[in-house]
DNA sequence: TATTGTTATACTCTATAACTATA
DNA sequence: TATAGTTATAGAGTATAACAATA
């Protein structure tokens, strides 16, 4: 889980050419690095990035429709259906059909789901609070700001 | 290929809570967006991000060992073996065992592989030259700089 | 007609381990 | 013993299409 099979030791110098200037390439590698860090810190809880995202969003938005979760997390609806089913059979979320649109499904955490989020919140907070290797705090804040801008996400409270 | 199944239209406002401050979450979403853009521009060539990366690296570093490519592209060795095999049977790369280490495999492009790279280079360059929606040119340069710093990649020539 | 969620299928990527042949 | 590559297997994630129920 923590072995990326890529000894990080610098072997031969490699010319990445045009790749070094490619946003997509840099994002792909960065995501792999950050997922490795995620598993290093939180792998012991048996949680995966997709799951924790969905759990946290449902926790913060009780009664949210599963399609809305999927849209905001950029998860395919077909995949979301499976994930929700798994979380339901794990007893973490409950599904209910709203009266005003009987096609939809609204999601809430069960007591068990809330307990799970409570268990994960502090380790997740600590994970996120850790300094990012190689980046200053300013770098880190700026990187997150630019990624949010790229994603058209609003800046959290505070600085305008 | 170009339909992410997530209508980008803003539906209900969703509180992303701690996720909005999570580097891993922001990187994951950003990578999905950039891959969608990649496919929009280059999907017609039947190429995938992993393949084009490997082809370009081999093109820029003829004779590179496949394990070295895997390390720098953060691709698992097991997956790399399959990918190289596929590229070989497509006639794009040739494999040769160096005399000084008969365990290793060195990779070069075939004429056909060079032709493929030539075909892809200009569309890829245009793709990368396109303004990134939502970001100014300064934003884009700064974002790439911070990602390279995060990845411990050297800055390309020019500004120190 | 369009939308929500579902199922089914296939493919990519990843993770792991066991294996070989070399070093 | 350790390394480079290979094979096999399993799983997660994703893409696609077709479907039922509802709007």
Residue-wise DSSP of A3-46: --SS--S--S----GGGGG-HHHHHHHHHHHHHHHHHHHHGGGT
Report chain B's mean pLDDT, rounded to a whole number.
Answer: 89
Find which of B10, B24, B57, B127 to mutate to test the A interface (most A CBs within 10 Å of its CB): B24
- Helices B111-129 and B49-60 meet at what angle, rounded to 10? 110
Instruction: For residue range A102-125, list pLDDT tens digits in order.
Output: 999 999 999 999 999 999 999 999
Residue A134: Cβ within 10 Å count: 14
Determine if strand C comes within 7 Å of the CB of B63.
Answer: no
DSSP for residue B156: P
The residue count for chain A: 160
Determine if strand D comes within 7 Å of the CB of B65.
Answer: yes
CB nearest to A31's CB, from B31, B64, B146 = B31
Question: What tens-digit pLDDT sequence spans chain A (160 residues)?
Answer: 333 343 333 457 899 999 999 999 999 999 999 999 998 889 888 888 888 999 999 999 999 999 999 999 999 999 999 999 999 999 999 999 999 999 999 999 999 999 999 999 999 999 999 999 999 999 999 999 999 999 999 998 765 4
Structure tokens at A27: 């994002």
Within 8 A by CB and 6+ apart from B114, the residues are B59
Interface of B with A in 61-100 (CB under 8 A): 61, 64-65, 68-78
Its pTM surpasses 0.75: yes
From the CA of B114 to the C1' of C12: give the distance in Å.
25
């Amino acid at each position: 889980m923590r072995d990326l099979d890529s000894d990080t030791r610098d072997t031969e110098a490699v010319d990445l050419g045009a790749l070094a200037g490619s946003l997509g390439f840099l994002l792909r590698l960065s995501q792999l690095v950050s997922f490795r860090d995620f598993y290093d810190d939180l792998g012991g809880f048996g949680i995966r990035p997709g799951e924790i995202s969905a759990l946290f969003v449902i926790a913060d938005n009780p009664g949210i429709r599963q399609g809305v979760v999927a849209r905001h997390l950029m998860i395919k609806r077909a995949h979301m259906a499976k994930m929700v089913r798994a979380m339901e059979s794990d007893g973490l979320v409950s599904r209910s059909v709203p009266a005003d649109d009987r096609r939809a499904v609204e999601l809430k955490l069960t007591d068990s789901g809330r307990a799970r989020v409570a268990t994960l919140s502090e380790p997740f907070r600590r994970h996120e609070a850790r300094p990012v290797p190689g980046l200053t705090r300013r770098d880190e804040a700026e990187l997150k700001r630019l990624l949010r801008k790229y994603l058209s996400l609003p800046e959290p409270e505070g600085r305008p």
